[in-house]
Structure 1
Amino acid sequence: MKNPLPITGFIQRYEWGGVRFIPSLLGTDNPDLKPFAELWLGSHPKGMSKVHTDAGEVDLDRLIAADPGGLLGPATAKTYHNRLPFLFKVLDVRKMLSIQAHPTKAEAEAGFRRENEEGIPPEASNRIYKDDNHKPEAMVALTDFWLLHGFKTDKAIAEILSEVSEFRALSPFFVNHDIRTLYRHIMEMPQEEVDRMLGPLQHRLQQEVRRGPVSKDHPDYWAFQAFEDYTREGHFDRGIFSIYLFNLVRLYPGEGIYQDAGIPHAYLEGVNVELMANSDNVFRGGLTPKHIDVPELLAHLGFEPVVPRVIQAVNAGQHESAYPTPAPDFALSVIDLKAGELQEEVLFRGPAIYLVLEGSVSAGNRDYAKGEAFIAFFGAEFGIRGKKGSRLFKATVG
């Protein structure tokens, strides 16, 4: 298949999702204000994309299965067991997501095999390993985007335990600056103790908010939101502790960040483009009504302090800018074209999915408007021509 083909994504309607950005992108009405949380472009079984071929519409995984070596390329097909190695998404985060981390490839394979042997159904609420793959992630902000990313430095955590009066009782568990010991204690505390510690914090934050707005660059803002969203039957979510222990990061539009296995993180607010290995494996650590397996989380979490590294786009050609990461599974870039400008594409590593974020383009023998996507396979050579000021995100093999 030398020409690109149109591809239709799958909408995930998680309750934390926004109601406007993705419908606007797709040109879809949403009069009932239903959540459009994520747009998935890929071949994951939880959200399969449809490819529009001359013979009709077909699931992407079925299309690849008919000729994996030809469509993925021999090397990619061999390395990734005849599967598309990446999953491409747009996220609209209206309400903060759960605190989470993801496994390494070896951890995912072992965990997936173990849960299969234990007979845990794939859709069971206590199922952690939905597949056998790791899930490194790269994201680029489309709006101002707020997230938690990795543990703060030892010094910063010590200051938090001193300055936040409600947390001073935790100081004995950080006497040797051992983040693991501190976090284990927080995650294993009885719920009654969690409520006893967080109750005074909730009361103080309510008073602060009554006095005036709290800045988003302070953990108090997000803790207050978490109290509002995740307090159930008078019980507080222990994930609120993590809001103070993790780095609070603000990304401006066009900035990116990379999250490898084991790095705890949580998306708080904003819209982004996200590219990851083809997986849905998550260890949760709070800010969620979903199942939290504390022993599994603690066994796989990275407890080293993290200094967030914001990724700036680097030049990758006349019209293309790339967001470099160490992940071999994927590569993310953006293509900007003025009217009439041409981007030549030669896919010698593997397939690529393109999503038009702004304007419109022609690619191969078709036109694509804002919100439309297309896929091209290994060996394809074609041009993308801007029809007016256009921006596309490109997801391909690393």
Structure 2
Amino acid sequence: MDLLQNTVRPYAWGSPTAIPTLLGVAPTGEPQAEMWMGAHPGAPSHLDRGAGPVPLTDVIAADPEGELGAATVRAYGPRLPFLLKLLAAASPLSLQVHPDLAQAAEGFAAEEARGVPVDAPHRNYKDRNHKPELLCALTPFEGLCGFRPAAESAALLAGLDVDGLAPYVDILRASPEDRALREVLTAVLTADRDVVAATVALVAAALERLAAEEGGSGARDPYTPYASLTRHYPGDPGVIAAMLLHHVRLQPGEALYLGAGVPHAYLDGLGVEIMANSDNVLRCGLTPKHVDVPELLRVVRFESGPPHLLRPEADGGEEVYAAPVGEFRLSRLLPVADGGPQALPGGAPRVLLCTDGRVVLRDTDSGAELALERGQSAYAGASERLQVSGEGTIFRATVAV
């Protein structure tokens, strides 16, 4: 088991205070959006086994089966198949979707064949992998996720009384749902940008009018998240696209799972996020970055349904967030009455993150111990047998093999 040194990514949407507060360090004044824990080549964690800090990618590459276990290597190859993050949003992230495995492989191969550099700003596929993900809230957390029923979206748009939205309302009311969602999203993203920008400006004015009429009573709740979008992304067609999605509020301890093809955007809050180890994102809007509309429409699943919300389920001494993927498994261990010790299952690689209090990890073979304070994390290889004790909360990220 090794203490991890992690990179914090300063994306513009990040909170300047949430991650520093958890880590117990002074804010820099700059946004701090994500802390990455794992072996993603873009920002691998480092550990020190006596010869100075070494990237976790190098540690695993030197002995894949020893670090990951034979079952993980057979299933996912000689690399850590998941990435754990702290995510702190202070403003909306881009509206986006992720491909499934077949789409990612096809898209990656096509861009490789065209000679598109992997770091090109217009490149869609950085790797061949899919990117299912799960976010567990540490604070109240808000996001947009998955298409709401077409009739609900029609009513929401109609309630703004903006002429430019009327054609979308008609389509949503008249067409079969899957076709209606596809037609409206396509129309929004391919329309003349000046025309869309003018419509979004009228949407912003309508939202302000509704807010003034309600006087803060909360009755306008369905429109609340979209006012923020118009302020952060004036004129962006993604504002209209976002109004087709469910608004989700998570309380601490609740989680949201996102599979392939599901449009989503995180809005505000601090959470623990785990995902397959990929960087494949196709954007719909709410961003100055590249939007590849034809490829996006190939990947989006035009079907409505409730967001995939998860609450922890007891499994031995852990609470598990059961996601339908094998690349990752996220569980939470809460403080026990007597402080432990409690065995941590092995057989696969693990990243352990302390989010509250203090815990002590003990290698039952060597007797070595490692204390984790709030905000600290550790890596343990598949063969290490561990116990945890202390009055703290930890998240355990591993592989579901």
Q: Which of 367, 383, 386 pairs up with 2:387?
A: 383
- The alpha-carbon deviation at position 101 of structure 1 amounts to 0.5
- Name the residue aligned to 2:186: 184
Which structure 1 segments of 5+ residues have no match? none
2:324 aligns to what? 326
TM-score by length of 1: 0.93
Partner secondary structure for residue 240 of structure 1: helix
Contact 2:95 2:283 in 1 (8 A): yes
Name the counterpart of 1:173.
171
* Structure 2 match to 1:46: 42
C-alpha contact (below 8 Å) 1:27/1:371 kept by paired residues: yes
Aligned residue in 2 for 1:111: 107
Q: What letter matches 1:132 in structure 2?
A: R
Deviation larger for 355-364 or 106-115: 106-115
- Is 2:241 the partner of 1:200? no
Q: CA deviation at 1:183?
A: 1.5
Match of 1:23 in 2: 20
Contact 2:46 2:56 survives alignment (8 Å):
yes
Match of 1:222 in 2: 225
How large is the Cα RMSD of the aligned pairs? Answer: 1.7
Taking the aligned partners of 2:225 and 2:371, their CA distance within structure 1 comes to: 43
Distance 1:390 1:261, change over 3 A: same
CA distance in 1, matches of 2:46, 2:379: 10
Secondary structure of residue in 1 paired with 2:334:
strand
Describe the SS at the equivalent of 2:116. Answer: coil
| From 72, 76, 83, the counterpart of 1:76 | 72
Once the 2 structures are TM-superposed, how far is the Cα of residue 279 of structure 1 from its aligned partner?
0.7
3-state DSSP of counterpart to 1:165: coil
Contact 2:361 2:388 in 1 (8 A): yes
1:84-95 correspondence to structure 2 within 5 Å: 84-95=80-91
Moved more, 246-255 or 152-161: 152-161
Alignment-derived partner of residue 365 in structure 2 = none
SS in 1 for 2:121: coil
Cα distance, 1:209 vs structure 2: 4.2
Q: Give 1:124 deviation, angstroms.
A: 1.6
Q: Give me the whole-angstrom Cα distance separating, in 2, the residues matched to 1:205 and 1:198.
A: 10
**Which secondary structure state, in structure 2, belongs to the residue aligned with residue 150 of structure 1?**
strand
How many residue pairs align between the two structures?
386
Which residue in the other structure is 1:125 paired with? 121
Distance 1:114 1:51 in 2: 36
- In structure 2, the partner of 1:358 is 356
Task: Give the partner amino acid of 1:227.
Answer: T
The match for 1:252 is 251
Alpha-carbon distance in 1 for matches of 2:373, 2:356: 8
User: By how many angstroms is 1:172 displaced?
Assistant: 3.5
* Corresponding letter in the other structure for 2:226: A
Any idea what SS the aligned residue of 2:342 has?
strand
What is the alpha-carbon distance in structure 2 between the residues aligned to residue 334 and residue 115 of structure 1? Answer: 39
- Could you tell me whether the CA contact under 8 Å between 1:342 and 1:383 is conserved in 2? yes
8 Å CA contact 1:64, 1:82 repeated in 2: yes
Shift of 1:199: 2.6
Q: Which amino acid aligns with 1:383?
A: Q
* Contact 2:108-2:125 at 8 Å conserved across structures: yes
Shift of 1:41: 0.4
Per-residue CA distance 1:261-288 (angstroms, 9 max, x = gap): 0000000111111110001110100111
Code of the residue aligned with 1:279 in structure 2: it is S
Q: Deviations over 1:278-301 (max 9, x none)?
A: 011101001111111111111110
Q: Secondary structure at the match of 2:4?
A: strand
Alignment-derived partner of residue 63 in structure 1: 59
Separation in structure 2 between the aligned mates of residue 329 and residue 88 of structure 1, nearest angstrom = 12
SS in 2 for 1:29: coil
CA distance 1:214–1:106, shift in 2 (3 Å): farther
TM-score by length of 2: 0.92
Q: Summarize the Cα distance change of 1:366–1:161 in structure 2 as closer, same or farther, 3 Å threshold.
A: closer
